[in-house]
């Protein structure tokens, strides 16, 4: 098409003019070319795209249902005697989950765990926690037409923020597989005390007063201004494994007036007389309630970073643990969303909508009598219905906190 053609204008044409060809000759060839796959048409699988987006998405919305199981539920604030604990009021001035607790969303701390040497063990660590969301970002409300087996109101909860776990890791570099709902009891200073367990690095245990402290995002969860809230985990480095060894426990002591009946002889008649004396009931609960994000697989993988095999080196994830100075790493794969391990039964399948995973958790939040406290044990031993010997000899075969969890 680059050939120059001279065209004679009509006004200069005559019978002696030279004929000029004003058309370009184009050669038509019939060469065969291969059409590459998907160049013309691409078959799109909506299922594959959905699974890929859900697997890569690190954003969670956390909500759920909560049952509050405790004799303190419905207890009037101005309780005086032991019988008040057995006559719930469920009125405007009674204790309930809404006015008795502050709830935070917390995560294992990114640093600062304390290594324990108790019993010569090299595997136990004190795990600390940091705030992800405050009570201002937490919503708790009664569920309509929903009661538990005791006829008590059930509640729904929701954190009204998105939680992005992309960069969240714990002290050992593990990507987070759990967040925790931290329940802080709001005590009545005139009648109640709140205590927690504090462990030292040597393994000794003391009971320490808990103070109500306003925490902000990023703060360590504190028992009081001097000590961090902790539990004990067992960490096996070469197995890329950590499990909870001993949970944290909070103790609520509720003081009341105990009436002891004595009989005095007045003119030959025995007259009952009630003598008041101070006493208490002690209750306990775990303030750190796990919220499962995902699971690690049961298979342990090993690789060496100095290997000449590209596929082997490239398979080492960013969170793998280096176990020696020779470049050896160990790790466990994170199970994909929607996949359940056929052997262990572990896996999660949360709804994925609007670029978020919706983590629903059904929680039974129980605050129970601490029968390791001798005064509390004696008080409940005096309650009439416990004198039924058949009931006393009946041993529980289940744990309400493990309902719905995988078998170990």
Q: How does pLDDT run across 86-129, given as a tens digit for each residue?
A: 998 887 789 999 999 999 999 999 999 999 986 556 689 999 99
Residue 109 domain-assigned (yes or no): yes
User: Do 217 and 308 fall into the same domain?
Assistant: no
Mean pLDDT of 241-257: 96
Mean pLDDT of 160-186: 95
When pLDDT is cut at 50, 70 and 90, the band that residue 386 belongs to is very low
Q: Which residues pair with 352 in a beta bridge?
A: 357
Mean pLDDT of 265-272: 83
Q: Is residue 271 predicted with pLDDT exceeding 90?
A: no
Residue 33 domain-assigned (yes or no): no
Q: Is residue 345 predicted with pLDDT exceeding 90?
A: no
Residue 253 domain-assigned (yes or no): yes
User: Do 194 and 322 fall into the same domain?
Assistant: no
User: Do 326 and 260 fall into the same domain?
Assistant: no
Residue 202 domain-assigned (yes or no): yes
Mean pLDDT of 313-327: 89
User: Tell me, what's the pLDDT at 405?
Assistant: 66
Residue 49 three-state SS:
helix
Mean pLDDT of 267-280: 88
- At 206-246, the pLDDT tens digits run 999 999 889 999 999 999 999 999 999 999 999 999 999 99
Residue 19 domain-assigned (yes or no): no
Determine which helix (DSSP H) or strand (DSSP E) holds 52, and give its type and residue range: helix 46-56
User: Do 367 and 304 fall into the same domain?
Assistant: no
User: Do 177 and 307 fall into the same domain?
Assistant: no
How much is the mean pLDDT over the chain? 86
Q: Is residue 192 predicted with pLDDT exceeding 60?
A: yes
Residue 72 domain-assigned (yes or no): yes
Distance CA 20, CA 17 (A): 9
Residue 120 three-state SS:
helix
User: Do 144 and 276 fall into the same domain?
Assistant: yes
Last residue of a domain, one of 310, 331, 352: 331
Residue 407 domain-assigned (yes or no): no
Listing DSSP states for 1-16 in one string gives ---------GGG--TT
Terminal-residue alpha carbon distance, the chain: 79
Higher pLDDT, 308 or 276: 276
Tell me the pTM.
0.80
Residue 5 domain-assigned (yes or no): no
Question: Could you give the number of structural domains in the chain?
Answer: 2
Last residue of a domain, one of 308, 331, 354: 331
Q: Which of 13-27, 252-266, 319-333 has the lowest mean pLDDT?
A: 13-27
User: Do 172 and 189 fall into the same domain?
Assistant: yes
User: Tell me, what's the pLDDT at 28?
Assistant: 77
Mean pLDDT of 364-392: 80
User: Tell me, what's the pLDDT at 103?
Assistant: 97
User: Do 257 and 110 fall into the same domain?
Assistant: yes
User: Do 339 and 323 fall into the same domain?
Assistant: no
Mean pLDDT of 338-359: 90
Q: Is residue 394 predicted with pLDDT exceeding 70?
A: no
Structural domain for 324, as ranges: 299-331
User: Do 209 and 322 fall into the same domain?
Assistant: no
Closest CA to 155 of 90, 96, 105, 102: 96
User: Do 222 and 283 fall into the same domain?
Assistant: yes
User: Tell me, what's the pLDDT at 222?
Assistant: 96
User: Tell me, what's the pLDDT at 145?
Assistant: 86
Whole-number Cα distances in Å, 124 to 115, 190, 227, 248, 319: 6, 38, 19, 14, 21
Phi, psi dihedrals of residue 400, rounded to the nearest 5°:
-60, -25
User: Do 219 and 307 fall into the same domain?
Assistant: no
């Amino acid at each position: 098409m680059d050939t120059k053609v001279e065209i004679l204008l009509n006004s200069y044409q005559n019978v002696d003019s030279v004929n000029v060809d004003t058309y370009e000759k184009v050669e038509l060839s019939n060469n065969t070319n291969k059409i590459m796959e998907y160049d013309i048409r691409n078959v799109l699988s909506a299922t594959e795209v959905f699974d890929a987006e859900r697997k890569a998405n690190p954003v969670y919305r956390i909500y759920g249902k909560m049952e509050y199981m405790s004799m303190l539920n419905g207890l009037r604030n101005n309780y005086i005697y032991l019988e008040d604990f057995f006559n719930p009021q469920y009125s405007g001035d009674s204790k309930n989950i809404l006015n008795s607790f502050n709830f935070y969303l917390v995560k294992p701390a990114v640093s600062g765990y304390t290594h324990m040497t108790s019993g010569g063990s090299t595997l136990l660590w004190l795990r600390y926690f940091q705030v992800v969301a405050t009570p201002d970002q937490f919503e708790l409300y009664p569920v309509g037409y929903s009661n538990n087996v005791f006829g008590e109101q059930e509640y729904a909860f929701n954190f009204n923020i998105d939680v992005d776990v992309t960069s969240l890791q714990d002290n050992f570099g593990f990507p987070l597989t759990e967040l925790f709902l931290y329940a802080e009891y709001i005590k009545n200073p005139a009648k109640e005390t709140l205590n927690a367990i504090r462990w030292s690095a040597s393994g000794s245990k003391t009971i320490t007063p808990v103070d109500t402290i306003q925490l902000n995002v990023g703060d360590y969860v504190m028992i009081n201004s001097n000590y961090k809230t902790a539990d004990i985990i067992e960490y096996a480095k070469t197995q890329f494994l950590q499990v909870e060894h001993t949970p944290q426990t909070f103790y609520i002591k509720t003081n009341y007036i105990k009436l002891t009946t004595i009989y005095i002889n007045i003119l030959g008649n025995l007259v009952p007389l009630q003598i008041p004396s101070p006493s208490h009931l002690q209750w306990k609960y775990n303030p750190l309630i796990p919220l499962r994000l995902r699971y690690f697989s049961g298979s342990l993988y090993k690789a060496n970073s100095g290997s000449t095999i590209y596929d082997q080196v490239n398979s080492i994830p960013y969170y793998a643990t280096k176990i020696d100075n020779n470049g050896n790493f160990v790790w466990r794969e994170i199970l994909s969303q929607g996949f359940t391990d056929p052997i262990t039964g572990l896996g999660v399948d949360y709804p994925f909508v609007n670029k978020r995973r919706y983590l629903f958790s059904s929680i039974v939040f129980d605050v129970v009598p601490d029968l390791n406290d001798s005064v509390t044990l004696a008080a409940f031993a005096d309650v009439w219905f416990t004198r039924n010997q058949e009931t006393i000899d009946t041993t529980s075969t289940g744990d309400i906190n493990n309902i719905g969890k995988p078998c170990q």
